[in-house]
Structure 1
Amino acid sequence: MRIRIVAARALTGLLTTAVLVGCGSSAQDRTAGPAWDPAVTAAPTPTASAAAPPSPTASPSPSRSVPTLPRPGNPRGRAQVPAEARAADTRKPDRVIGNGTPRSCTSEAVVAAVARGGVITFSCGPAPVTITMKATAKIRNSTGPRIVLDGGGKVTLSGGGMRRILYMNTCDQAQGWTTSHCQDQDHPQLTVQNLVFADGNSTGDRVEGGGGGAIFVRGGRFKVVNSRFVRNRCDQTGPDLGGAAIRVLSQFKGLPVYVVNSTFGGASGQGGTCANGGALSSIGVSWVVLNSVLSHNRAVGRGANPARGGTPGGGSGGAIYTDGNRFTVTIAGSVIEDNRANEGGGAIFFVSNDRTGTMKIDGSSLRRNPSDGFETRGFPGIFFLGARNPTVTGSTPR
């Protein structure tokens, strides 16, 4: 497999070449594929006049003059997907949101179902729907242990530009403590699949450091399959907060977050913006990103981390921002393009403070990811500090 890395500006140096260990079977759960409708991505962008509370009911997504977006993920991705990273079987749901009509699929119904946990699906009628959340859906730590939220390829959950959409935190007493070691427990195990998360906004919410415009996770296990994230955002400044789409802090036994067949941004005007990590952000968490697309996301902070004197800090990791000690990032079969960072890593910012962390990139394409401040010589769009140079399989920079 090959990876193509295209520099945004002339850089010298050679990439290392090594073999990336395969990830297992590529077969997807045959019950999990949605009848995907691109119209679910067409939720309206919030404007300054949209100060009224969001509607409590869902309605078919209105038409909008945006590019027609394909189903999520990279259709040319050939990375093998391990069994634990595949979509969950939802043929026998514990809970169904809605009774077959758009009007029955409400924010209140989503909040209630997520709080109760289990396998959750939607019945909102044959047309795509957008459910504008009036409150953030929060997972109770005593539910599950498995929690699956499956939109069937026709449901958009929208933050309306006003709030975060989904929240899980094993160390939040308000959601219940279930162990004496909340930062390292095997539950809840959250899967989101066949959904669109649009217009989430965690700006001003600095609990646990902030970030996570669409989804915030701490503890347990988490994976994303066949989903799209558009126009999400979080605080625009700050040296370490991030993740316009997703912010993750800690996972059970250091196991990775899987992101499979998913898209973050995908077209001009659809990407996420945050101080750091225009799509994904974490501290001390490993990631495996397979057959996915991350494009048109931006890290908009200024001053990096630690913040330079006279600056608020931030601006690193146009698509992905990772920090911590021992963790890994694996990207395979994916496209990371047209992202931008005001500081370091227009595509990826990776800092392992004790220099034990490692990164592997295989069969992927990185191109047009300018780093306005700094990046690692020979790795266009990447700033990397770890155990050794990233392992990049069969790559040819140009």
Structure 2
Amino acid sequence: MTPAVALLVLATAALSGCGSSGPGGEPATEIPVAAASATATASPGAVPGASVGMGGRSASPTPKPSRPGGGVLRAGNPGGGAHVPAEARMVDTSRPTRVVGTGTAASCTSDAVVKAVAAGGTITFDCGPEPVTIRMRATAKVRNANGPKIVLDGGGKVTLSGGGERRILYMNTCDQAQGWTTSHCQNQDHPQLTVQNITFADGNSTGDRAEAGGGGAIFVRGGRFKVVNARFVDNRCDRTGPDLGGAALRVLSQHENKPVYVVNSTFTGGSCANGGALSSIGVSWSVLNSVFRGNRAVGAGANPARSGTPGGGSGGAIYCDGNGFSVRIGGTIVEDNRANEGGGAVFFVSNDRTGTMTIEKSTLRRNPSAGFETRGFPGIFFLGARNPTVTGSKLG
């Protein structure tokens, strides 16, 4: 995945942006320099350009918890007030396909999680009455033929930990090792992966540069993906690189550019070259009633990397690059994140300038951009079709 990069010098102020592959942003004093890149689409190994589109199959509008009474996890911003469409809501897991554990913490092992995820279906946990942390000894990988829906529901009591050593969860429709199920792996509607009522902690994909790297806790390419009522804590990916990112989530090539939903979820303490929480190329996002706090983009040199630097440092919380995609941030708090380069809160570059961003009923505050940001939008660097649409929100 090697984007062709061209520099665009912006002579005047206020442009805001999140984009797809090969983003960029490099300041010349107060005038930012952004990168426009082309995304390869010809081969399964290349990330395709995204088409415009939102939607997808609806989940149950009245989901049930995996156990009577639900779990103990409460994530996100309960006072956010953003409308959550039916397809973005929690999946009913009251009739699981398989259960990890037999009623004790000791029975809930890494091996059991890996086997359950590979087998697919609706997965719940029975680890006893108390919260439990399962330290993953291997990354759980989705087998592309074992779906079409895979749901991982922690019941509010389960933490999956990478132990600071490995990525926790992986899905890639274009990875031949996980099985190809169509001739157009980069744009297929399955598998459809949901993670809910669960915590992902201490994931670390450092050194794994497959598909350009990133995704310390979860890496997804293809199919559909959503996150509901989940926490992501202290995840990591490589500290340098102009375009890799996503300490918590790295997502590529969603079916028909339908959005990744992140609902009622919390991201804290993430650190990566770019995207201290989320990172994507050519992917739309709908981030609703969630919280991003204390995440950092720690790379240096932006994208394309300045001479003598390794590149990176953009998108303290969220890093988006690509062509035609959209980002909606609703009912969400983004605070105390930081970028060494551009976009302490959000870095958005749409290379073909068709991308759009909407911020509603949200608060973005104290998100310093040490290098550059879009004038009038503190904490945001944006290049897209037009300035972000901001309603009922506070930026500061």
Q: Distance in 1 between matches of 2:165 and 2:301?
A: 26
Q: Is 1:127 the counterpart of 2:130 in the alignment?
A: yes
1:319 shift after superposition: 0.1
Name the residue aligned to 2:207.
Answer: 204
Q: Is 1:32 the counterpart of 2:65 in the alignment?
A: yes
What is the letter of the counterpart of residue 241 of structure 2?
A: G
Alpha-carbon deviations, 1:282-321, whole Å to 9, x = none? 0000000000001100000000000000000000000000
> Equivalent residue of 1:227, what SS?
strand
Q: Distance in 1 between matches of 2:356 and 2:98?
A: 40
Name the residue aligned to 2:376.
Answer: 378
Q: Is 1:319 the counterpart of 2:317 in the alignment?
A: yes
1:14 shift after superposition: 9.3
Alpha-carbon deviations, 1:72-102, whole Å to 9, x = none? 1002110111000001000000000000000
Once the two structures are superposed, the pairs formed by residues 12-23 of structure 1 within 5 Å of their partners are: none
Name the residue aligned to 1:328.
Answer: 326
Change (3 A) 1:164 1:15: closer
Aligned residues: 341
Once the two structures are superposed, the pairs formed by residues 24-103 of structure 1 within 5 Å of their partners are: 29-32=62-65, 35-37=70-72, 71-103=74-106
Q: Tell whether the 8 Å contact from 1:226 to 1:261 is kept in structure 2 after alignment.
A: yes
Q: Distance in 1 between matches of 2:362 and 2:178?
A: 39
Q: Distance in 2 between matches of 1:304 and 1:219?
A: 27
What is the letter of the counterpart of residue 384 of structure 2?
A: G
Q: Distance in 1 between matches of 2:357 and 2:127?
A: 41
Q: Distance in 1 between matches of 2:212 and 2:367?
A: 26
TM-align CA RMSD: 1.8
Q: Tell whether the 8 Å contact from 1:28 to 1:81 is kept in structure 2 after alignment.
A: no
1:15 shift after superposition: 11
Alpha-carbon deviations, 1:224-243, whole Å to 9, x = none? 00000000000000000000
1:32 shift after superposition: 3.3
Q: Tell whether the 8 Å contact from 1:15 to 1:378 is kept in structure 2 after alignment.
A: no
Name the residue aligned to 1:151.
Answer: 154
Q: Distance in 2 between matches of 1:396 and 1:109?
A: 45
TM-score normalised by the chain length of structure 1: 0.83
Name the residue aligned to 1:185.
Answer: 188
1:28 shift after superposition: 6.2
Once the two structures are superposed, the pairs formed by residues 304-383 of structure 1 within 5 Å of their partners are: 304-383=302-381
More strand by share: 2
Alpha-carbon deviations, 1:345-364, whole Å to 9, x = none? 00000000010000000000
> Equivalent residue of 1:349, what SS?
strand
Q: Distance in 2 between matches of 1:346 and 1:238?
A: 17
What is the letter of the counterpart of residue 180 of structure 1?
A: S
Name the residue aligned to 2:143.
Answer: 140
Once the two structures are superposed, the pairs formed by residues 207-222 of structure 1 within 5 Å of their partners are: 207-222=210-225
What is the letter of the counterpart of residue 108 of structure 2?
A: C
> Equivalent residue of 1:183, what SS?
helix
What is the letter of the counterpart of residue 113 of structure 2?
A: V
> Equivalent residue of 1:308, what SS?
coil
Q: Tell whether the 8 Å contact from 1:15 to 1:392 is kept in structure 2 after alignment.
A: no
Change (3 A) 1:395 1:133: closer
What is the letter of the counterpart of residue 174 of structure 1?
A: A
Q: Tell whether the 8 Å contact from 2:63 to 2:91 is kept in structure 1 after alignment.
A: no
Give me the identity figure in percent: 77
Q: Tell whether the 8 Å contact from 2:363 to 2:393 is kept in structure 1 after alignment.
A: no
1:397 shift after superposition: 4.7
Q: Distance in 2 between matches of 1:251 and 1:302?
A: 29
Q: Tell whether the 8 Å contact from 2:140 to 2:170 is kept in structure 1 after alignment.
A: yes
Consecutive unaligned residues of structure 2, counting only runs of 5 or more, are 1-12, 17-54
Alpha-carbon deviations, 1:183-241, whole Å to 9, x = none? 00000000000000000000000000000000000000000000000000000000000
What is the letter of the counterpart of residue 96 of structure 2?
A: P
Q: Distance in 2 between matches of 1:155 and 1:396?
A: 34
Name the residue aligned to 1:286.
Answer: 284
Q: Tell whether the 8 Å contact from 2:72 to 2:157 is kept in structure 1 after alignment.
A: yes
TM-score normalised by the chain length of structure 2: 0.84
